[in-house]
A and B are shown apart, each in its own frame.
Chain A
Amino acid sequence: MTDAAFPDGANGAAPRTTTSLLAQDARTRKRNAAEARFRAYGIAAIAVGLVFLAVLVSSIIFKGVGAFQQTFITLNVELLEEKLDKSGTRDIEAIKKVTTFGYNPLIDAALAQAIAETGIENPFSKGKDLRKMISSGAAADVRDYVIENPDEIGKTVEFRLLASSRVDGYLKDRVTRESLARDKNLSPEHLDIVDALAGAGVVTKAFNTDFITGADASESRPEQAGIGVSMLGSFYMMLVVLACALPIGVAASIYLEEFAPQNGFTDLIEVNISNLAAVPSIVFGILGLAVFIQFAHLPQSAPLVGGLVLTLMTLPTIIISTRASLKSVPPSIREAALGVGASKMQTVFHHVLPLAMPGILTGTIIGLAQALGETAPLLLIGMVGYIASNYPDGVIEGFMAPNSAMPAQIYEWAKRADPAYYERAWGGIIILLLFLMSMNIIAIILRRRFERRW
């Protein structure tokens, strides 16, 4: 015990003082208090973390969920033959000669008619002013439909056209009559019409599949922008990362862990790998720019290059986690295999690697998730700022044609001036987080599935 037990300092010679177990002595009380304080600190720390997480998640969902809803205007557009196919021969080349400008009057007329049906007065005499309510991409949608179905010319067809971002914002409470006073894109009179049309069921909000599958649009058409093409860019990048980083990383770690002699050189490699894991990702970006684009002349903005850069970034993560899981395989398994006459390589591939597999897979998926969310290195190889407006044709194009990536797309939207893009950026973050979450869940499931006891 302590000095307290021997008040006169004699070495155990003092008579033993017996204390009741039912009463706590001062020292025990102090120790218990210290433990209680530490528990309180711990709970407080976790609570702070949870509060931040809750704030983050709720603000992301609150701000981003609007991107998944889009305002549509349903119009019966009369596809006039004298405008779209003057010759009346349904010659596809002749139809293609009519530009989107030729379609605008048809949409204007349809909109004016819809307004007239609601009974509200139309204060706009010019179609151009009325058209501000509809996305400038709407005419292209109608034209695409006509080129695909030339037989519909002369008939009246129902179209669900995108409303302009201001109208969309009004229905989502982003745009108010006051804010329109400083906005030349739309006037309060338009909002009266929108109110009436919404009452008549012409203007409706619906789930926006185009946001998930669509392509990015120019600065003036936020209502058309979608994340689909850059999602594909991210997908091709991840394929490159997986195909490069997994074999290289696993082979390197197996060699370092199981075969390499323990000397100064391997120590140096080890230190360097740990250091590489801490290198800022933008440094890998500039390395990629110098090596892959300026030296090797690979195409700019291509997912192939992005994937190679992210491979460099992911490799240390994979090597470190693979080595850790190889280390955690008990040496008795190696001895057992060597004892029955297995060679070093048979020992590793038949016994050690299968046992290390759950750790390797987890590390790889975590590395991939990290790479998926990485923006900075893509900045330098031209994947940020590229407007991913077209789907690539085929797999080779997917790797080689310029594209963007999900985090780069989000960054790009957040940068744009139109407040409608702000909502898109948050929506994009929701999608990105869903991907990351599902990858982490896969990692956990794989670890559970492959985990074996020994």
Chain B
Amino acid sequence: MQDIKITARGVQVHYGDTHAIKDVSVDIQDNTVTAFIGPSGCGKSTFLRCLNRMNDTIDICRVTGDILLDGEDIYDKRVDPVQLRAKVGMVFQKPNPFPKSIYDNIAYGPRIHGLARNKADLDDIVEKSLRRGAIWDEVKDRLHAPGTGLSGGQQQRLCIARAVATEPEVLLMDEPCSALDPIATAQVEELIDELRENYSVVIVTHSMQQAARVSQKTAFFHLGNLVEFGDTDQIFTNPSDPRTESYITGRIG
């Protein structure tokens, strides 16, 4: 049994008048891939974005309840969301590299957080991150080419490399493969499995096969409720809730 990295208790999210997340409690373990599945609009992405306070940027969004990272409340008044996001990195649905060079894409995070003392340090971080993003061999000869010139799958791996460059403890991935073809998806999935060694990974996905392939824990969301949370094997072979069963067998969603 791994250590608990994130503990959520009684989380409620409101967008204006819409009650998007209803009383969700979940434990996310370290060195584990946790998948959030569920039909569109069920709140899985919203909940994911609560974990690094990306919802703060939306004025009408209100979050209540407790989310603890290593036992510390991340919604405490003393917490600076910027520091939190350095610890809890994020990869988005659409690959979104900065319109800069590949090198600068990776180096940006370490630069603003002061992780590198000098140029050689920074070069090291860039190489290490690109290797972890499983893209080093493809781009090592053109580090100063624009990141936007890469293919979709390469861009997404670049974004993952960018996220790990700031040495986060948790990596949130919001449907990271939805814009990718099957080959690129396979590469990213392989990468996610490798990342598990160092990070706690939370992935939102629409593909149940993907959830089954990459995750150890799965949470099923439906209409803002956390319906079922447990080991991936158990969820997919022996779900306890009839709604989960309907969803994974394709009857709802």
- Residues of A whose CB lies within 8 Å of any CB of B are 261-262, 330, 332-343, 346, 350-351, 355, 452-454
**Chain B nearest Cβ from A74, distance in angstroms:** 63
Q: Is the CB of B108 within 8 A of A340?
A: yes
Q: Is the CB of B92 within 8 A of A333?
A: no
- B52 nearest in chain A by CB position: A339
Among candidates A335, A341, A454, residue contacting B99 with C-beta atoms closer than 8 Å: A454
The verdict on B112 contacting chain A, using a C-beta distance below 8 Å, is: yes
Q: Is the CB of A341 within 8 A of B54?
A: no
- A330 nearest in chain B by CB position: B96
Among candidates B57, B162, B165, residue contacting A338 with C-beta atoms closer than 8 Å: B57
> What B residues does A336 contact at CB under 8 A?
92, 96-98, 159, 162
> What B residues does A351 contact at CB under 8 A?
98
Q: Is the CB of B54 within 8 A of A340?
A: no
- A355 nearest in chain B by CB position: B99
Contact status of A341 and B113, CB under 8 A, knowing A335-B96, A454-B99: yes
Among candidates B82, B92, B94, B99, residue contacting A342 with C-beta atoms closer than 8 Å: B82
Interface residues contributed by chain B, number (CB under 8 Å):
27
**Chain A nearest Cβ from B2, distance in angstroms:** 25
Looking at A330, A341, A452, which has the most chain B CB atoms within 10 Å of its CB? A341
Bound CA span A94–B54, Å: 85
Interface stretch (choices B6-14, B83-91, B132-140): B83-91
The verdict on B39 contacting chain A, using a C-beta distance below 8 Å, is: no
Q: Is the CB of B54 within 8 A of A335?
A: yes
Q: Is the CB of B112 within 8 A of A341?
A: yes
Bound CA span A261–B57, Å: 11
Bound CA span A332–B91, Å: 11
Q: Is the CB of B82 within 8 A of A332?
A: no
> What A residues does B166 contact at CB under 8 A?
340-341
> What A residues does B96 contact at CB under 8 A?
330, 332-333, 335-336
In chain B between 135 and 175, which residues have their CB closer than 8 angstroms to a CB of chain A?
Answer: 148, 159, 162-163, 165-166
Contact status of A340 and B163, CB under 8 A, knowing A346-B112, A350-B108, A355-B99: yes
**Chain B nearest Cβ from A286, distance in angstroms:** 39
> What A residues does B98 contact at CB under 8 A?
333, 336-337, 351
Bound CA span A355–B92, Å: 20
Bound CA span A343–B85, Å: 10
| A and B contact pairs by CB, cutoff 8 A, 19 listed | A261-B59, A332-B94, A334-B57, A336-B92, A336-B96, A336-B97, A338-B85, A339-B54, A339-B85, A340-B109, A340-B112, A340-B162, A340-B165, A341-B86, A342-B108, A343-B82, A453-B99, A453-B148, A454-B148
Bound CA span A343–B108, Å: 12
Beyond A262-B59, A340-B89, A341-B86, 8 extra complex contacts between A and B, CB < 8 Å: A334-B57, A335-B90, A339-B92, A340-B108, A340-B162, A341-B85, A341-B112, A342-B109
Bound CA span A343–B54, Å: 12
Bound CA span A340–B87, Å: 9
Looking at B85, B148, B163, which has the most chain A CB atoms within 10 Å of its CB? B85
> What A residues does B94 contact at CB under 8 A?
332
Bound CA span A335–B90, Å: 9
> What B residues does A337 contact at CB under 8 A?
98, 108
- A343 nearest in chain B by CB position: B82
Among candidates A335, A341, A453, residue contacting B92 with C-beta atoms closer than 8 Å: A335
Contact status of A339 and B57, CB under 8 A, knowing A452-B99, A453-B148: no
Q: Is the CB of A339 within 8 A of B108?
A: no
> What A residues does B148 contact at CB under 8 A?
453-454
Bound CA span A336–B99, Å: 11
Bound CA span A346–B81, Å: 14
Q: Is the CB of A341 within 8 A of B59?
A: no
Among candidates A334, A341, A350, A355, residue contacting B82 with C-beta atoms closer than 8 Å: A341
Bound CA span A340–B166, Å: 7
Q: Is the CB of A342 within 8 A of B90?
A: no
Among candidates A333, A339, A452, A453, residue contacting B89 with C-beta atoms closer than 8 Å: A339
- A334 nearest in chain B by CB position: B57
> What A residues does B54 contact at CB under 8 A?
335, 338-339
**Chain B nearest Cβ from A253, distance in angstroms:** 18
- B83 nearest in chain A by CB position: A341
> What B residues does A330 contact at CB under 8 A?
96
- B60 nearest in chain A by CB position: A262
1/0 contact trace for B109-138 toward A, CB 8 Å? Answer: 100110000000000000000000000000
Looking at B59, B83, B96, which has the most chain A CB atoms within 10 Å of its CB? B96
**Chain B nearest Cβ from A441, distance in angstroms:** 26
> What B residues does A262 contact at CB under 8 A?
59
> What B residues does A261 contact at CB under 8 A?
59
Q: Is the CB of A340 within 8 A of B85?
A: yes
- B81 nearest in chain A by CB position: A338
* Pairs A-B, 3 closest by C-beta atoms: A341-B86, A340-B109, A332-B96
> What B residues does A343 contact at CB under 8 A?
82
> What A residues does B108 contact at CB under 8 A?
337, 340, 342, 350
Q: Is the CB of A332 within 8 A of B85?
A: no
**Chain B nearest Cβ from A340, distance in angstroms:** 4
> What A residues does B90 contact at CB under 8 A?
335, 339
> What B residues does A346 contact at CB under 8 A?
112
> What B residues does A339 contact at CB under 8 A?
52, 54, 85, 89-92, 163
> What B residues does A338 contact at CB under 8 A?
54, 57, 85
Bound CA span A244–B166, Å: 39
In chain B between 164 and 209, which residues have their CB closer than 8 angstroms to a CB of chain A?
Answer: 165-166
Q: Is the CB of B109 within 8 A of A341?
A: yes
Bound CA span A332–B162, Å: 14
In chain B between 48 and 104, which residues have their CB closer than 8 angstroms to a CB of chain A?
Answer: 52, 54, 57, 59, 82-83, 85-86, 89-92, 94, 96-99
**Chain A nearest Cβ from B58, distance in angstroms:** 10
Bound CA span A350–B96, Å: 15
> What A residues does B89 contact at CB under 8 A?
339-341
Bound CA span A102–B54, Å: 86
> What A residues does B163 contact at CB under 8 A?
339-340
Q: Is the CB of B112 within 8 A of A332?
A: no
**Chain A nearest Cβ from B36, distance in angstroms:** 17
> What A residues does B52 contact at CB under 8 A?
339
